[in-house]
Chains A and B, each alone.
Chain A
Amino acid sequence: MNLITALKFYITRMTEESGPGMKVLLMDKQTTSIVSLLYSQSEIFLKEVYLFERIDANVRNEGLKHLKCIVFIRPTKENIEYLCNELRYPKYGTYYIYFSNIIAKADIKLLAESDEQEVVREVHEYYADYLAISPHLFSLGINTCSQGLLWNPVHLHRTVSGLISVLLSIKRCPYIRYQNSSEMAKRLAEKIREVLSKESNSFEFKQDSSPILLIVDRRDDPVTPLLNQWTYQAMVHELLTINNNRVNLSHVKGISKELKEVVLSAEHDEFYANNLYLNFGEIGQTIKELMDEFQKKAKKHQKVESIADMKNFVETYPLFKKLSGTVSKHVTVVGELSSLVEKHHLLQVSELEQELSCQSDHSMQLQKIKELINNQQVREIDAVRLVMLYALHYEKYANNDINGLLNLLKSRGVSDKYVKLVYNILEYSGINARQSNLFDREAVAKITKKLFKGLSGVENIYTQHTPLLNETLEDLIKGKLSLQTFPYLGSTMMSKKPQDIIVFMIGGTTYEESLTVHNLNKQNHGIKIILGGTTIHNSTSFLEEIQHATSGILTKYKNNNN
């Protein structure tokens, strides 16, 4: 149930199956991302893969007949076409073809007919068709999956194949539960079952555990991606955007050339792996420790007096160089984060966000929102997010003041697009669209919790919020998840408590939820949870998703306003 090792195994098999000799790796756009998340270039070099090519590149290089070509592509129509052309006029000596998913017989036939020179040696299906971000987290890289609150057919297809490949790569044939209120979840669940029954041969595993696939919809919890985050990974994603483990820093003033774009990969960066889930304050601490260590080492390097020192220097130099790279990278990132926090008063904003998501004190919160909207230093987008949270929370509250706040936004000169987004989010996930009570869930439990909280005081006002997913998963683990809200697909029901859980969130998951799953995995021994989403959202990408999802829908909220 470790996604990264599963995919690494596939890639290693690919490079080994073709035997010794120089190799070239031919990929498409998506598989390039998949491979890059797993291996760095120098690691792949050690497997004798010396060249990388894109099959869809306009201008391809001249051929080298002495090379072995490993083709790793998704079985899409365009790719098959490209590959047919490639096989008709082969540029390389022999071909080893690996499809990242189940391929149709007809396509194989097409390829076989194109292979007139008999250059193909192997054809395999290796189910590495998703982006493995951490051992328990995957994404499919679909930024806007729905249109008019329904599936975009292209993205539905991609999502189904992605999920199928996840199941195949970890060898699980699960029971499926889906969120009852969501049309999209149901559709996806049905599609997956269709494939499972069609390809039942591939899904015959000896499984001693009882896996479950839980399909949930982002629309049930629109709050999590709207909040500012304070753990390292989530924060970097929220403020700087992580794209396939790459962070673009070129907008930072006076940045050196090699730091314009940095890689934050837990696989290759020990410091990052250790501090991924720490909060911002702790990160400052560990960065300081790292700096101290670095300075100590740097000092050691300064006094090179004897031959022994020199030898030591030569020995430790590569490590030292690596350390200095890590230090400068993280110091830059954290520096940028803290400057952004200060510049945009994110601490204040975040405090109010947390209050809005966890407490109900209408008049005071309204007051604070108004204050922050009028504060010119608060970014427009943050102000809009506050209004959105307010609107989501107090939509049905008798004397709410959504329109007043919107007018305030307009008078501040916030662009029309953002103001419209507030209606859009209500349309996307207003109180009618949600099935669980997001803001005061489990009234009794909540009250006792609140009492406890009142006694001990809040631990950290910036991390009060726990995603809805936490509750859902805890219920599922205990076997208490309601059959009405999350029914099984089909009549089969699981009798035992689940051990392996795969959660898939339509409309994208977040790093906060990834942290939740990480903690749940740690707390519950013997239970393994994998989280996936059509993408990994931060607030910016989530707002785009909403805009896309609600485009072409007549909003009743708009009409009220006019």
Chain B
Amino acid sequence: MAMRNLTEPFILMRNNALQSKHIYAEQNLSDRTALVASSSDASDSVELKNVNLESNAPPVWTDALEETQYILSRLRVKIDSLVELHAKQLTRPTLDDTSQEERQMEQLTREIGRAFSSGYHQVQTIKAATRHANGSTERQLAMSAVMALSTALQELGLRYRSAQNHYLTQMKSREERSNQFFTEDQSIFLNNTMTDTWLLESNETNSDSWNNSQQQQQDSVLLQLEDSDDRIKLAVEREEQIGNIVQSIADLRHIFKDLASMVEDQGTILDRIDYTVEQTQIQVQEGYKQLKKADSYQRANKKLYCIVVLASAIILVSFLFIVFKT
């Protein structure tokens, strides 16, 4: 992958060329040449001004474009950190003391959602601006920009959603697993009470040691009960979170729907650069042909018009001739 940088020699040559031109101009300062030169210069500069005036200012939607690009770059970072958080959350063995991270996640999700919708709005503004764009080039430019941005947005959206979905399913499966524990807990609890009653019924006169052990057991059952209470709380919390995520996804859905409909010709002939270039040229040629055609029609019409007028004049004259002669 060799390459050669020719910028320096180029700039050197350019400076030389400009300098020699100036020197040349200064040396020939006789009135006439100066005048002639200046007049030609003037015409040049006028022309240049015209060129400059043409479309010097960037179009209005440049800001929107930059904004969207900024949003995109931020979205990328955010989604990355969200995925990281998800992974951390999922690999964490115990589920306690996670509130801070969860809150962080929630906030991130909300921010991402907002960023998506604002990015989408920006794209819409560019799209709207295309309609008012003057000149085909500018329209083409804006259309390409919209295409690029929506592709990028779509890609990020896909990633975001798959990350969210992955997290959701993982959480769900985990919940199922914990539910299993839950039912197991209850069964143990039931068993314990069973044994309790059985114990109470059959062995009323028991040694203290037995009582003690039973006491301990009951204690442990109570502990377990408290524990499961905690878990219920946790589960409720988790459900809330999941609900939130579902909500956010639902919010995003219509956006993605719109975006998905916008970009789908990747990999087809429409996505070829040379095809696009050819098409533009064909269009230009077509336009030229149409113009020519229109021109010829115009002329043909004039001729026809002439013929009709002359013919009617002849008819009129001959009519008059007949009228006056007879």
Check A125/B6 contact, CB under 8 A, given A42-B271, A61-B137, A63-B55: yes
CB contact list, A100-149 vs B, under 8 A: 102-103, 105, 108-109, 111-113, 115-118, 120-127
Q: Does residue A57 face the partner (Cβ distance < 8 Å to B)?
A: yes
Q: Closest approach, in angstroms, between the C-beta of A39 and any C-beta of chain B? A: 7
> Would you call B162 and A123 a contact (CB within 8 A)?
no
Q: Does residue A9 face the partner (Cβ distance < 8 Å to B)?
A: yes
> Would you call A6 and B1 a contact (CB within 8 A)?
yes
Option from B17, B271, B280 in Cβ contact (under 8 Å) with A41: B271
- Separation of A204 and B260 alpha carbons in the complex (Å): 50
CB contact list, B269-305 vs A, under 8 A: 269-277, 280-281, 284, 288
Q: Does residue B322 face the partner (Cβ distance < 8 Å to A)?
A: no
CB contact list, B228-274 vs A, under 8 A: 246, 249-250, 253, 256-257, 260, 263-264, 266-274
Q: Does residue A431 face the partner (Cβ distance < 8 Å to B)?
A: no
- Separation of A379 and B162 alpha carbons in the complex (Å): 54
Chain A 287-331 near chain B by CB (<8 Å), digits 1 or 0: 000000000000000000001001100110110011001100000
- B interface, how many residues as a size bin? 35 or more
- Separation of A325 and B14 alpha carbons in the complex (Å): 51
| Chain B residue nearest to A117 in the complex (CB) | B48
> Would you call B147 and A42 a contact (CB within 8 A)?
yes
Chain A 31-46 near chain B by CB (<8 Å), digits 1 or 0: 0110110011110111
Contacts of B267 in A (CB 8 A): 40, 263, 268-269, 322, 325-326
Option from A36, A205, A325 in Cβ contact (under 8 Å) with B272: A36
Option from B58, B151, B268, B273 in Cβ contact (under 8 Å) with A66: B58
Among the stretches B85-93, B138-146, B188-196, B309-317, the one at the interface with A is: B138-146
Option from B11, B69, B148, B256 in Cβ contact (under 8 Å) with A45: B148
Q: Does residue B23 face the partner (Cβ distance < 8 Å to A)?
A: no
- Separation of A318 and B135 alpha carbons in the complex (Å): 33
Q: Does residue A58 face the partner (Cβ distance < 8 Å to B)?
A: yes
> Would you call B273 and A52 a contact (CB within 8 A)?
yes
Contacts of A171 in B (CB 8 A): 1-2
| Chain B residue nearest to A67 in the complex (CB) | B141
Q: Dominant SS at the B interface?
A: helix
> Would you call B2 and A205 a contact (CB within 8 A)?
yes
Q: Does residue B77 face the partner (Cβ distance < 8 Å to A)?
A: no
CB contact list, B20-66 vs A, under 8 A: 48, 51-52, 54-59, 62, 65
Q: Dominant SS at the A interface?
A: mixed
> Would you call A202 and B4 a contact (CB within 8 A)?
yes
Q: Does residue A59 face the partner (Cβ distance < 8 Å to B)?
A: yes
Contacts of B147 in A (CB 8 A): 42, 45
Check A33/B55 contact, CB under 8 A, given A45-B151, A66-B62, A325-B267: no
> Would you call A35 and B273 a contact (CB within 8 A)?
yes
Contacts of A441 in B (CB 8 A): none
> Would you call B3 and A127 a contact (CB within 8 A)?
yes
Option from B13, B263, B268 in Cβ contact (under 8 Å) with A325: B268
Interface size on A, residues (CB 8 A): 83
Q: Does residue A440 face the partner (Cβ distance < 8 Å to B)?
A: no
> Would you call A41 and B2 a contact (CB within 8 A)?
no
- Separation of A169 and B281 alpha carbons in the complex (Å): 31
Check A123/B10 contact, CB under 8 A, given A311-B249, A318-B260: yes
Contacts of B308 in A (CB 8 A): none
> Would you call A54 and B55 a contact (CB within 8 A)?
no
> Would you call A124 and B158 a contact (CB within 8 A)?
no
Contacts of B59 in A (CB 8 A): 66
Check A246/B161 contact, CB under 8 A, given A62-B54, A123-B10: no
CB contact list, A458-494 vs B, under 8 A: none
- Separation of A383 and B52 alpha carbons in the complex (Å): 64
Contacts of A89 in B (CB 8 A): 51
Check A51/B137 contact, CB under 8 A, given A112-B13, A123-B10: yes
> Would you call A318 and B264 a contact (CB within 8 A)?
yes
Q: Closest approach, in angstroms, between the C-beta of B194 and any C-beta of chain A? A: 40
Option from A9, A51, A202, A318 in Cβ contact (under 8 Å) with B141: A51
> Would you call B269 and A33 a contact (CB within 8 A)?
no
Q: Does residue B165 face the partner (Cβ distance < 8 Å to A)?
A: yes
Starting from the known contacts A45-B144, A124-B6, A268-B266, 4 additional A-B residue pairs (CB-CB under 8 Å) come to: A36-B274, A52-B276, A65-B54, A307-B250
- 26 A-B pairs within 8 Å (CB atoms) are namely A36-B272, A40-B273, A42-B266, A45-B151, A50-B144, A52-B273, A54-B277, A57-B281, A59-B284, A63-B55, A64-B55, A66-B55, A113-B14, A122-B7, A127-B2, A205-B2, A246-B269, A260-B269, A262-B268, A263-B269, A307-B246, A314-B256, A315-B162, A318-B260, A321-B264, A322-B267
Per CB-CB distance, the 3 closest pairs between chain A and chain B, nearest first, are: A45-B148, A66-B58, A112-B13
